[in-house]
Amino acid sequence: MSTLAVLGATLARAGRLARLAASGPGRWRGGALYATVLALNFLGVWISIRLIAWNKAFFDALEALDGAAALAQVWVFFLLVGASAAAWLAADWLRKRLLILWRARLTALALDLWLGTRAYWQLRPGFGAHPVENPDQRVAEDCRKFVEGLLEFTLELISKIVALVSFFAVLWSLSGFGLAFTLFGIEITIPRYMVWLAPLYVALATGLTHALGRPLKGLYFARERCEADFRHALVQLRETADSVVRETADSVALSRGEAAERRRLDGRFAGVVTNWRAIMRAELIQGLFTRPYFQTVLRVPTFFALPAYFAGQVTLGGLMQLASAFSQVTTTLSWFIFSYRDLAAFVAVCERLDGLLQAARAPAPLPGAPQAIRRDASSDGALHLDGVRLATPEGRWLDPVPDRAIPPGARVLISGASGQGKTTLLAAIGGLWCWGEGRIARPGGRWLMLPAGAPIFTGGLMEAACYPDDPARHDPARIAAVLTRLGLGHRLAAAGRADELSGLSLGERQRLGLARAALLRPDWLVLDEATAAMDTALEADLMAWLVAELPATAFLIVAHRAPVGLPLDDILPVGPTADSERRTA
């Protein structure tokens, strides 16, 4: 991609993100804060111009050995510096307030998209053409980094343009003299040469900085990914070792998996090291030029103006004033050079964050995976499956699902051998699984799915028992009664403590799932191997209780054996057996 195309794409991305950050109810407040910070920056520019004039007055007073005038200028100096510091501090304070306002807005929008469009489900690796890596980092860090960069760069850019125009005018008024020299016998005079020298000097330096720093953007992008991958690997280990999910922690420890975990972590960290080395090399190459440039940019102007001084065209004060104006122009023009690294990192942030939001809005399907499932609202309150055949995201077809109309309150077992598509069918009925064909007409009302593995959602015992409802909406006495009936009464004593969910066994977690069913009272309850860890006596007891609690609820049960204690109305075979059913029909 050419530099111009990259610039255009980055500006478009930054513009999209900036519009989002500055939208919403706080937009007027944000706009006012932005305008105030900008005004304070302009005040800073004005003070800098006053300081340029101060140079002349002070050094001329020194040259004239006028002590009183020099002392007066010392007071002027402190006044200007005091005003400059006050303006800077006020601008910094307001900028930080704006930063949290816009960051909160952007984060809220990112979370709305991430959760509201179920992008967290769709954009997992293996599910779409462009899975999003480390979305947590993008939402948590990139929103902050984007707003920081946006404020820093736009405010600076606008202030720098205003400053540049002002400093240029000052430089123009001071550089009335020309440079005369002879080249190959021809007399050449460059009028106001100091004015032309400044942009030429900076243009050459900018071109060189960009050429040397080109690889940095890609490397910064990769750095965020490597660091996030490493951190994520550590988080996975922490989650695995989380006391709530005891089995998985056990499985690492009992398999003596520490060495395997270490290999995985070392592999991720090796990526961090390789990327770091590449960044070091690229920054060194760029620094070989920018560092000396940075140190000379303030002194070189004095050298350039020396011919005029020795020709008697300017006084010492004039020389200092000129040097000051010239270095202000060059440092302002050199903003790109000094900010190159931060700009490169900002471009990478824009790319990542915009990529996440775009992908969340319209997840790109995997090529070859059909998405032809028709979804209708059921007109008769029954769940209809007509000609449904599901596929995996990469396009492998599973066996057709037999047609069914499952009326409200029915109890249906979805059976089939392992890997035939039972869980996938539940995801399709739930509206998540989009790969396949046929028609699914889903009735309204409340649906609750208890997935295999009985995961515990973060929060305490009460939250877990009512998830996703707010426990405040439920009577605590009723929650306690349900938990006690399910044999979880011993956990109530620990309610509110950090360890209230620690070490729950798989069977206990499944009982907590049944508590959710009893408390949330869904119209349709989907159980995916939700009682598989219970012994048959307990399962029979609890299922009989649950059916009595939820007499009008329809049960869709995925299990390898019919749950004890639950009379069935129908069996929906999934897999090759379904074919034989179709043939018999």
Ligand X SMILES: Nc1ncnc2c1ncn2[C@@H]1O[C@H](COP(=O)(O)OP(=O)(O)OP(=O)(O)O)[C@@H](O)[C@H]1O
Task: Give the interface with ligand X as residue ranges (CB under 6 A).
Answer: 126-127, 392-394, 398, 416, 418-424
For ligand X, give the closer residue by CB, 148 or 399: 399
For ligand X, give the closer residue by CB, 41 or 424: 424
Spatial distance between the Cα atoms of 532 and 454, rounded to a whole number of angstroms: 10
Query: Contact 414/556 with Cβ under 8 angstroms?
Result: yes
CB of 391 to ligand X, least distance (A): 9
CB of 225 to ligand X, least distance (A): 22
For ligand X, give the closer residue by CB, 194 or 578: 578
CB of 437 to ligand X, least distance (A): 16
Helix or strand holding residue 404 (H, E): strand 404-406
CB of 525 to ligand X, least distance (A): 18
For ligand X, give the closer residue by CB, 318 or 421: 421
For ligand X, give the closer residue by CB, 422 or 511: 422
Query: Contact 123/363 with Cβ under 8 angstroms?
Result: yes
Q: Centre a 10 Å sphere on the Cβ of residue 568 and count the other Cβ atoms it contains.
A: 13
CB of 89 to ligand X, least distance (A): 54
* Pairing of β 371-377 and β 554-558: unpaired
For ligand X, give the closer residue by CB, 320 or 366: 366
DSSP conformational letter for 215: T
Q: Centre a 10 Å sphere on the Cβ of residue 95 and count the other Cβ atoms it contains.
A: 19
Spatial distance between the Cα atoms of 102 and 145, rounded to a whole number of angstroms: 11
**Contact partners, residue 33, CB within 8 Å, separation at least 6:** 94, 95, 97, 98, 101
* Pairing of β 179-183 and β 186-190: antiparallel
For 350-368, what is the HEC assignment? HHHHHHHHHHHHCCCCCCC
Tokens representing residue 287 in the block? 């620094």
Say if residue 468 is preceded by a cis peptide, omega within 30 of 0: yes
Backbone angles phi, psi at 484, to 5 degrees: -65, -45
For ligand X, give the closer residue by CB, 205 or 398: 398
CB of 297 to ligand X, least distance (A): 56
For ligand X, give the closer residue by CB, 354 or 529: 529
For ligand X, give the closer residue by CB, 134 or 424: 424
CB of 127 to ligand X, least distance (A): 6
Spatial distance between the Cα atoms of 139 and 352, rounded to a whole number of angstroms: 10
78 CB burial (10 A radius; 0-12, 13-18, 19+): exposed
CB of 435 to ligand X, least distance (A): 9
CB of 396 to ligand X, least distance (A): 7
Specify which residues 555 forms β-bridges with.
Answer: 411, 525
Spatial distance between the Cα atoms of 79 and 48, rounded to a whole number of angstroms: 12
